[in-house]
Chains A and B, each alone.
Chain A
Amino acid sequence: GQNIDQPTEMTATEGAIVQINCTYQTSGFNGLFWYQQHAGEAPTFLSYNVLDGLEEKGRFSSFLSRSKGYSYLLLKELQMKDSASYLCAVFIPNGNKLVFGAGTILRVKS
């Protein structure tokens, strides 16, 4: 089976930095993805890691360690609009499909 774990909820302050962790145990691995989903809306792609290390994209960065089955999404200079659910997902080569974690609800307070 596939197991992808992330915290259920987090709260952070506007302007701060927050790190959302994701651990995974899957039958195969071909990349780790982060999606953002605002309440009542569709998920949208944020980032993709297939090799170990840090990928930076503006205020958002994503890190991957394949040996540890671990990733995190780092959000800097938090804004109120960053309040959303953040979904960690692993691409499984057997079947070529994306398997999602339950998501982390991030609340940004002023």
Chain B
Amino acid sequence: DADVTQTPRNRITKTGKRIMLECSQTKGHDRMYWYRQDPGLGLRLIYYSFDVKDINKGEISDGYSVSRQAQAKFSLSLESAIPNQTALYFCATEPSGRGTGELFFGEGSRLTVL
């Protein structure tokens, strides 16, 4: 089983719908991240969390929200999806106390907004 699990892996939805992407991890890491990946733009940071209830905005947080109710879970929500949120979304974890940037990624969630 994967240490960092994302659900759903693929989702097609319509403009205006609310979508939640879930991430759970068994690595025991405190730090969790949500990135989106677009062709030619690389990975861009949406939100990150260093502990339960700790939430920090990344480069492109507009249109997104997150929830960190437990150490092992970090959820990303799109309150009202729009077509330019079509992308590949990655959750990642990192052990605290190191801050070395070695991230462990989930397998990705491909979201298509029509």
Contact = CB atoms under 8 A, between A and B. Distances in A.
A74 to B, nearest CB: 20
Contact of A42 (B41, B90, B99): B90
A64 to B, nearest CB: 13
Interface residues of B, number: 24
Range for the number of chain A residues in contact with chain B: 20 to 34
A59 to B, nearest CB: 20
Nearest to A90: B101
Interface string B23-61: 000000000010100001111110010100000101100
A33 B104 CA distance: 13
A25 interface: no
B42 A103 contact: yes
B90 A91 contact: no
B101 A31 contact: yes
Interface stretch (B62-70, B76-84, B105-113): B105-113
A101 B44 CA distance: 9
A63 B60 CA distance: 30
A20 interface: no
A89 B44 CA distance: 11
A98 interface: yes
A100 B43 CA distance: 6
Contact of A33 (B35, B59, B102): B102
B107 A42 contact: yes
B40 A45 contact: no
A103 to B, nearest CB: 5
A11 interface: no
Contacts of B59: 99
B102 A102 contact: no
B12 to A, nearest CB: 17
A91 B107 contact: no
Interface of A: 8, 30-31, 33, 41-45, 48, 87, 89, 91, 95-103
Interface of B: 33, 35, 40-45, 48, 50, 56, 58-59, 90, 99-108
27 contacts: A8-B40, A30-B101, A41-B108, A42-B90, A42-B105, A43-B43, A43-B90, A45-B102, A45-B103, A45-B104, A48-B100, A48-B102, A87-B42, A87-B43, A89-B43, A89-B101, A91-B99, A91-B100, A91-B101, A95-B56, A97-B58, A98-B33, A98-B103, A99-B45, A99-B59, A102-B41, A103-B42
